[in-house]
Amino acid sequence: MLLSQRERPLIAVVGSVDPARTFAPPLRAADQAPRACRDLGRELARAGCDLAVFSSKPTYIEHEVVHGYAEGTDAQNPGRVAAYPPRHREVAFALPDGSSVTLDTFRDTSGEWEVAYYRTLLSCDGVLLVGGGQSTRVAGIVAMAQGIPVLPVAAFGGGAGQVWVNLDKVRNHADDEDIALLGRDWSPDAAPRLIACLLRMRTRRVESARVQERADRSLARRTGGGLTAAAVSVVGSLAALVLAGEPGPADARALAALTAAPLLASIAGAMTRNSFETEAAWVRAGIRGLGAGLVTVLLYFASQLLAVPALFDQLDVRRLLFFAIPLGFSAGFTFDLVYERLRAGAVPAPALGPELTSPGAADPAAAGGAPPRAPSATA
């Protein structure tokens, strides 16, 4: 369920303040803890939260929190407690008759309590931690790792106190004021302030999820637009092959096709390359690809003109484009290498192509040029 779709926050209750147990770190002010847990449960009910519990034994804080939760409900403000025990355990809180609390039990198929315990934490909107030992600390760490708001009441020490120390480093939707509040000693008015703190953290989490969702949608739109522009550029460059005229003296139409087609291909190459990057800067990638393609393609044509000065006297645009379009796409796809060479002061080597007779040129002799000179024996 998405965070924005759940009207009543589901808060997991985790911890123990049993004086007969030995905790590491040790408990503090354990005599105040049961009353504090009842107060916290009452405030959770008044705030319109549901509870997720795992045991009804008096040795765990769920027993006191649920009874305090029942005290904070009435017919106009009913409550709900969801119990997640393993399949072989029973949950019974012995609530008074006429209680406005609904107890729903969801037994896990596993016989191990850890499976239901940690699996349920991942579906909650917040976790209340009081006292406890290693399991309580691990529950807090799991919640923080998943970005779930945690409320470790450090006043009573135990595993919850250690989670508070870890929370100061991770923050997890908590600010400086929240960290300071969680570390204070217990006082009669602490419960409402702590529950309000937990709900603020949940609100921040929900808002953060919404912002991320909007950012993901925006990125998807930009990615779709960029890939569409790349596809249109590829189609445009290939269309020049179809629209290219017959061989003949170079005119404006032939030169435009000869120049525009590889440049469109270079833009497509740069945008295709950008689709593999985490930052979708489509316009910037297209401009860089255009520049890289312009430099590379013009250098290629310059090398052909040096080898065949009469290249444009009898120009076969279609044959040249079969080589110039892939060259432009490659230049755009690898524009970072092209710019690196330019920054280093090295002129990119002309691409492999015909040395004397270009694929787009007719026979030099037929065009009135001198026939190619045969290589000398000493060459």
- Spatial distance between the Cα atoms of 90 and 106, rounded to a whole number of angstroms: 11
Which residues are paired to 127 by β-bridges?
12, 150
- The CA distances from residue 249 to 5, 230, 260, 303, 354, in Å, are 69, 32, 18, 19, 20
Q: Which helix (H) or strand (E) holds 254?
A: helix 252-274
Q: Please, what is the Cα angle at 102 between 99 and 106, to 5 degrees?
A: 145
| Residue 210 backbone dihedrals phi, psi, to 5 degrees | -65, -40
Number of other CB atoms surrounding residue 297 within 10 Å: 23
> Could you tell me which residues come within 8 angstroms of residue 313 by beta carbon, excluding any fewer than 6 positions away?
249, 250, 362, 367, 368, 369
Domains of the chain, each with CATH number or no CATH: 3-206 (3.40.50.450), 218-343 (no CATH)
Whole-structure pTM value? 0.69
187-190 long-range contacts (CB < 8 A, ≥24 apart) are 190/36, 190/39, 190/155
Number of other CB atoms surrounding residue 176 within 10 Å: 9
Q: Which two tokens stand for residue 361?
A: 């040129």
DSSP state of 334: T
| Contact yes or no for 151/197 (Cβ under 8 A) | yes
Q: What is the DSSP string of 60-115?
A: SHHHHHHHHHHHT--SSS-EEEEE--BTT------PPTT--EEEEE--BSSS-HHH
Write down the pLDDT at residue 297: 81
- Spatial distance between the Cα atoms of 322 and 134, rounded to a whole number of angstroms: 69
Identity of the amino acid at 149: P
Residue stretches of the chain with pLDDT short of 70: 1-5, 245, 278-280, 336-379
DSSP state of 240: H
- Spatial distance between the Cα atoms of 265 and 146, rounded to a whole number of angstroms: 44
